[in-house]
Chains A and B, each alone.
Chain A
Amino acid sequence: MNKILAGLAFGLVLGAIDGASAWFYPETHTMIFGIMVGSSIKGMVVGLLSGWFAHRVQSMKWGIVVGAAFGLLFAFAVAATDTVNGQHPYLEIMLPGFVVGGIIGFLTQRVGTPSSTQKEEK
């Protein structure tokens, strides 16, 4: 499987699961579907970028770092445009987004076919 395609698939699934974890907060029950869709889209964007990076560079360490950085960046973008009780939920969105980004980065390094001209680093 292409690494970019793998990134999109992992981003979709992990984003949806991360979004679904909002169910533990009762005030989100009415908008859980929207959260899951938004989180899935965020995950797919992170997966796309992480997959592209994994396609170019074969390095587990940098794959995780770059995935986590993309996850953090897009989680920040989501948190900055969202408000709960008049406050931006930076911690609640960015912390899990950071780790999920790292997981997506790991998975795109592990799964899929790399580029034939990619750089390799241990």
Chain B
Amino acid sequence: MDVSDSIVDHLRHVAALPNLAATRYELEMEIGRGGLGVVYGARDRQLGRRVALKILDSALAGEAQIIAQLEHPAIVPIYEAGALPDGRVFYAMKLVTGARLDHYLTGSPLLAERLRVFRRVGEALAFAHTRGVIHRDLKPQNVMVGEFGEVYVMDWGVDAVAGTPGFRAPDPQLDQRSDIYALGALLHFVLPASAPLAIKAIAGKAMQADPSARYSSAPALLADIDRFQEGLAVRAWSEPLWHRLRRFAVRNAVLLWLLTAYAGVKFLLFLLRNF
């Protein structure tokens, strides 16, 4: 590449940058780029804080309105939406610092921590479903874990998105059950290889090809996670007897120790008396 090429590239890059002169934002750097838009880090001059600016084609202006309906601790809040002189639309949102879920998992967090993060995603999804919004593209790349453990689900409900292979349900038309499939795929992704069979079964049930065989809702899936974490039988799996006994023993270990101690005491007294 000679000097003129680099100048042309630079000019092309500058020309593609959004013109924010009429807004309160000052561009800082590009954070991410996808097929539907570009996310920049920017500075809000009025409030003196950093924000994330998503620049989209005007056809996707509805995305901001969809997310603005979703006020939830695990959904990135929208501060403002507007249009640029070139016709593109933008919206400003909270700038989340932290790691994408797939990067976060490389730190090998414990199963309980993985399930905590997953639960937050499930709660956000359950909330969105009550507002009639489906995510359409739930995947690890759309989940952020903040530096204080906060969890955010991003990139909600854009009609143009038809999901990501591996997370997209094989349904002809996307609906809430398709999100349940993606939630199951996300659970499967979050779980370590050594995860117990019961929790893997929950992911498996959520990922059934037949939508009616999946969980009916995100809360139903989360309820099965609760049962797993409390040491109870999960609905997704008809466990064998040995597994049921083992779960009973783990759940009632203290009681079994006390009963064993009682039997031991009685046996000891019997021995002392007779020998």
Residues of A within 8 A of B265 (CB): 95-96, 99
A96 to B258, CA, bound (A): 11
| A64:B254 contact, CB within 8 angstroms | yes
Distance between A94 CB and nearest chain B CB, rounded to angstroms = 10
Given that A95-B265, A96-B265 are contacting pairs, would A103 and B270 also be in contact in the complex, using a CB cutoff of 8 Å? Answer: no
A91 contacts which of B261, B262, B269 (Cβ < 8 Å)?
A: B269
| A60:B254 contact, CB within 8 angstroms | yes
Residues of A within 8 A of B254 (CB): 60, 64, 106
Q: Any chain A CB within 8 A of the CB of B15? A: no
| A99:B262 contact, CB within 8 angstroms | yes
A91 to B273, CA, bound (A): 11
A16 to B216, CA, bound (A): 48
Instruction: Determine the residue in chain A with the shortest Cβ distance to B268.
Output: A95
| B258:A106 contact, CB within 8 angstroms | yes
A91 to B269, CA, bound (A): 8
Tell me the dominant secondary structure on chain A's binding face. helix
A7 to B23, CA, bound (A): 69
A24 contacts which of B259, B261, B270 (Cβ < 8 Å)?
A: B270
Q: Any chain B CB within 8 A of the CB of A78? A: no
Q: Any chain A CB within 8 A of the CB of B255? A: yes
Distance between B274 CB and nearest chain A CB, rounded to angstroms = 10
Q: Any chain A CB within 8 A of the CB of B266? A: yes
The tally of CB-CB contacts under 8 A between chains A and B is 32
A67 to B261, CA, bound (A): 15
A24 to B268, CA, bound (A): 13
Residues of A within 8 A of B268 (CB): 95
A89 to B272, CA, bound (A): 13
Distance between B22 CB and nearest chain A CB, rounded to angstroms = 56
| A96:B259 contact, CB within 8 angstroms | no
A93 to B68, CA, bound (A): 70
Distance between B83 CB and nearest chain A CB, rounded to angstroms = 53
Mark contacts of A81-122 with chain B using CB atoms, 8 A cut-off: 1 yes-contact digit, 0 otherwise: 000000000011001100110110011001000000000000
A102 to B265, CA, bound (A): 13
A17 to B270, CA, bound (A): 16
| A103:B255 contact, CB within 8 angstroms | yes
Distance between B269 CB and nearest chain A CB, rounded to angstroms = 6
Given that A64-B254, A106-B254, A106-B255 are contacting pairs, would A99 and B270 also be in contact in the complex, using a CB cutoff of 8 Å? Answer: no
Residues of B within 8 A of A60 (CB): 254
A95 contacts which of B258, B259, B269 (Cβ < 8 Å)?
A: B269
Residues of A within 8 A of B261 (CB): 99, 102
| A103:B273 contact, CB within 8 angstroms | no
Mark contacts of B241-273 with chain A using CB atoms, 8 A cut-off: 1 yes-contact digit, 0 otherwise: 000000000000011001101100110111011
Mark contacts of A8-28 with chain B using CB atoms, 8 A cut-off: 1 yes-contact digit, 0 otherwise: 000000000000010011000
Q: Interface on B for A, CB 8 Å cutoff? A: 254-255, 258-259, 261-262, 265-266, 268-270, 272-273
Interchain residue pairs with CB less than 8 A apart (29): A21-B266, A24-B270, A25-B273, A60-B254, A64-B254, A91-B269, A91-B272, A95-B265, A95-B268, A95-B269, A96-B262, A96-B265, A96-B266, A96-B269, A99-B258, A99-B261, A99-B262, A99-B265, A100-B262, A102-B258, A102-B261, A103-B258, A103-B259, A103-B262, A106-B254, A106-B255, A106-B258, A107-B255, A110-B255
